[in-house]
Every structure is written in C-alpha cells, then in structure tokens.
Structure 1
C-alpha cells in the first residue's frame, strides 16, 4: 500500500468501514437543470443517481451469496460495514431521486424503476452465475471508487451543484473509498479467478457507460430538450478538461488489469481525513 505506517496509523480510525446514518435535508427549491444550468450534465447526474438504489441492492445481494463462506473475522466485519454503507446509499439516493422528480419534473424515479426491472429480469433468467455477478460488483466498485477519488481530489467539480448535493456526492465518494476492497477480497477468497474478473470488467464497463448514456438521453427526450452549445461545451470540459473525469480515471481504471492489482494498492486516507475535517457532522453520523 502507498504511504507510510505512521500516516496509516494516524488515519486508522477515520478509515474504518463505519456506516453513517446521514439525514440529508432535501427540502429546498432548485431549478430544473440544477447542475450549472446545464441540461446535459444535469441529466447525466440524474441518470447516475437513478442507478444507485437498485445497483447497490444488487451489490449487497452478490456479496451475501458468498458471505457464509468467509471465515476471516476481519473480512466478516468489513462485509457488515459494506452492507451498512451501501444500505444508507440506497436510502439517500431513493430520497434524492423522488425529490428531484417532485421539484424538477425530471423522471428520475422512472429510470430507477427501469434499472430495478432490468436487474430483476437478469436474476430471474439465471444466465449468470453467482461468481460472475460478484465479479461485476467488484468491477463497479472499482469504477465508483476511482470516481470518488476524482471527486474528492477535484472538489470544485461539485461547486455548480446546490450545497446539499455537494455534501451527498462527497459523502458517497468517501464511503466508496472506505469499502473499495471488500467485494474484491470476498471474490478472491471465494472465487479467485482473475481472468474472469478482467473479462467481466470489459463487459461491465461497456454496459455501464452505454446504460448511463441511454438514460441521460432518455431524460432529455422525455423533456423534448435539445442540448445547447453551452451544454455540450460544459460536458466536454467535465469529461476531458484539465480536471475532467475521463481524463482523470483513465489511468487508475487500467490498473485493474494488472496481475497484482488490489484496491488497497493506493491510499486515499488523506483525502478521507480532509473530508472528515471539512464535514465533521457527516463524518460522525454513525449509527
């Protein structure tokens, strides 16, 4: 792991996987296109939020399918922390999705239901083994962790959003980093097939990106909203600018394909500690 033992020891209490029962107050008025008055970026963020409640429910299910095989007491505790954090992520994103639909008219909950139905149909069809589904969780946990690291390192990216959304995004990003290794460790102990993991990463990345783009455009289609040149330019900067998400996560994404990859090969404890100092009430909201 990067970083020295002193730094790791100093942040050990902060870095524990502790579910935070955060109660965000969404009782505020916002404009329809609430991220930088950019319809395309607002639709992207709404589409991403719509994925979280059903997606994280599936993450928990995929881990629980192997939970009884785990004998390591430390990993057993990490699994409990993972499930608790993902449970609160589900709860708050369901709340924010309902709120966004009520305040803006954007049909975020309809997208959420689509994702839920798609996952339900996939599970009912039985086309994928528990090992493949856990592998998909590992892959998506890597993607969300490197996106969380990007957001915490470039906090100004969240500035165009209302304050309550900045708090939600950063809190979620922190907890993705805190539990980033849990699904991987369960997979390696119970399945251990890195070749399968790499194949699933390719398919999962493709499905995630195409699904997110489809839902982003679907929201705009429902609104009969054609993005402006300003919307397009802002989206290009968000993705490919100096601090853009795709530009930033490109390199850490591909570390996943290394023979010795482990999520803990990188250390984001300093970012987590900085967040805890800036948001002490959120950091201490443990149940």
Structure 2
C-alpha cells in the first residue's frame, strides 16, 4: 500500500493492483479537499450535508490527482443490496457529471477503457476485481448486509456472465474498511453470519466472530469477504487484504463508527487505462 503525497490531493494505491499494467486505481483519504467541519477536507458525498460547490471542487481535485476524467466517472447508487450493473459506453459520466438513470446499484463492472468506476465508503468494504485475461474490472461496495449477501460472489458471477471471466484469472483486493476490533455487531446480526457461512466455517465461528464482554460480537469483515471470494472460486493467493482500518485511522480516513455518523465519505476508483 502506498500513500501518494506528491499530488495536490493525496490518495492510496495497493501493490497487488499497481502491478497490473492496464489499470488505474485509487482510494481517497480525508486530505487535500476544501470541505470544512466534520467533512474536513475531501468529502465526496453530496448527501451528508456538505455544500455542492465544495464537493464539486473535491471531485475536480481528486480526479486531477488520479489523472482521470471527471466527465467519464460512473458512480453507484448504494443501498446495501447486491445489485451489479454492467457499465457500457453509453453510461459514461452517469452518477456525477450526468444524471443517473439507475438506482439500487452497489456494484459496477465494465470492459470499456477510460471509464472510471466509483464506489463510496466510511467503514464498509471496498472490493476491487481485475480479470487480467479479458481486461475487465469490477468494483463493489460490501457492508455487513452486502457481505452476508455475498456481494463479492455476485460481482464475480456478473463478470463471468458478461465477460466469460475465469476466476483463476482474477486478482481481488479487499480495501480499507473497519477492522474486527472496531466493528461491534448485535447477536441478531451475528446469527445471520453464522447461518450463511456455516458451510465454510463448519462450526468454527471464531474465525469471523468474537463475543465481547457486553454480550455483543466483534465481526471480521475482512475474513468473511476473503471466505466469500475464495468460496466463489478465486485462488487464495489472488485475494489481497489492505489491512487498513478506517476506524483506527480516522485522522486519515472517514469512519462512521469513529465519528458517530458525523463525517464525510471516501471513494474507491478503478479504471481500465487506455
């Protein structure tokens, strides 16, 4: 993982993805924007109470630093479901620069060069996918609902259907998100994970859950998503975890838990380079 500080607006990249020559990628931080207060400074959400003018400027800055065209970015409409949209040339710019004509989309896939896919976070899990043989990509948002719904698998199924992706050709990255020590869930939510992942865990739920003194549970979203991806068919060596917690590093990254909901929003970007 590398924090790029030689640009106006710093961003993170990940070695496993940087080694793939035909893609461009990044994950934003709080740094280098113009937003103020709890949104300081690179907030990329129009729906958390920040002003449109400041968010517009933040997008201009991060796209310039990433060397991508703002007018081409295609963005999700995230609702914690597992719907995946195939992005075509006709979608170029939708969700930011042009009106979006779709809803309830937490994942995007494409084979079109020069279209940056964008998804949004403040503790949930970013999932990056690169099909190296077919030069296709996927980018998905997976919170706890998406994870128990196997969002990563749904994205891979969409890539296989649309691009004839062979999962042995896929490199996947589980991006910055909340860690097990910071992520407390209720017993009811823990039961959903126990039911869904019993086939893989075979009773060994300590791999993903730890009961805390308050009678609730700490959930390891990184490990659960790794299980989802390897169970779907990606070779274990092709699944990489950033090991960067948004909550532990709330001075660098926005965290819903750390800020008690008063925060801006981060973004993941992924593009097939021309």
Please give the range of the TM-score, normalised by the shorter of the 2 chains. under 0.3
Per the normalisation by structure 1, the TM-score is: 0.24
Between Structure 1 and Structure 2, the one with more strand by share is: 2
The TM-score with structure 2 as length reference comes to 0.25
